Amino acid sequence: MKARVAILISGRGSNMAALIDAATAADFPAEIATVISNRADAAGLEKAAASGIKTKVIESKPFGKDRAGFEAVLQRALDEEKVELICLGGFMRLFTAEFVQRWYGKMLNIHPSLLPSFPGLDPHGQALRAGVKISGATVHFVIPETDAGPIVMQGAVAVADDDTAETLSQRILDIEHRIYPEALRLLASGRLRLEGDFCRIAGDTERGGTLISPRTI
């Protein structure tokens, strides 16, 4: 049985599209049961519908600071679709500690930096202002703190002197689209185990390569 996944979005939905695409493979251990947006104008909604995925809008704005009220409606929608796992894909709304606790170990987020560096807004600008030579993307389990939680997978890219937030974000986005489906595959196939602040992976993994940046010539 494939794990039933909800993807929560607020905008473009390119990570959502990468997850939907990966889940079309017969051997992928998860199926995208629904895409839920907290904004009616999220461009990702059309993409999801075009892929034949059920979509739902639960506008968060009318709830204002009433996070629990919004989450009660969201939880009902998740229950209706028998959702077992949640992937946040650019979902720009903070959760209460109660909601996060309810989904602890079952809710992933992706952030375009090598966490714990540069959480929050404008991570690409933060990376450029810090002058790092390597940045990347992180998939992690969601905890009450924003852009924090046990790290599942990271991918790195070299940062060039002439990078702008736009050029860097595009290269990191390519990495995001590769690692998010892989992280979901690991979670849905039961290979991830949480040990306190750490996420451990069962079975074989490749050690991967080395990235040195800049490379001198």
Query: Which residues of this protein are in contact with ligand GAR, per CB under 6 A?
Result: 9, 11-16, 44, 89-90, 110-112, 147, 173, 176
Of 28 and 180, nearer to ligand GAR (C-beta) is: 180
Place of tokens 């639960």: 58
Residues in the chain: 217
By beta-carbon proximity to ligand GAR, the closer residue of 90 and 149 is 90
User: Residue 7: CB partners within 8 Å, gap ≥ 6?
Assistant: 13, 16, 19, 20, 32, 34, 35, 36, 48, 86, 87, 88, 89
Residue least distant from ligand GAR (Cβ)? 90
In angstroms, the CA 164 to CA 61 distance is 32
Nearer residue to ligand GAR within complex by CB, 142 or 192: 142
Nearer to ligand GAR by C-beta: 165 or 200? 165
The least CB distance from residue 12 to ligand GAR, in Å, is 4
Write out the catalytic residue numbers: 111
Q: How far is the CB of 124 from ligand GAR (least distance, A)?
A: 9
Nearest approach, Cβ of 89 to ligand GAR (angstroms)? Answer: 4
Closest to 181 (Cα-Cα) out of 66, 23, 71: 23
Nearest alpha carbon to residue 156 among 171, 141, 140: 171
| Nearest distance from C-beta of residue 115 to ligand GAR, angstroms | 9
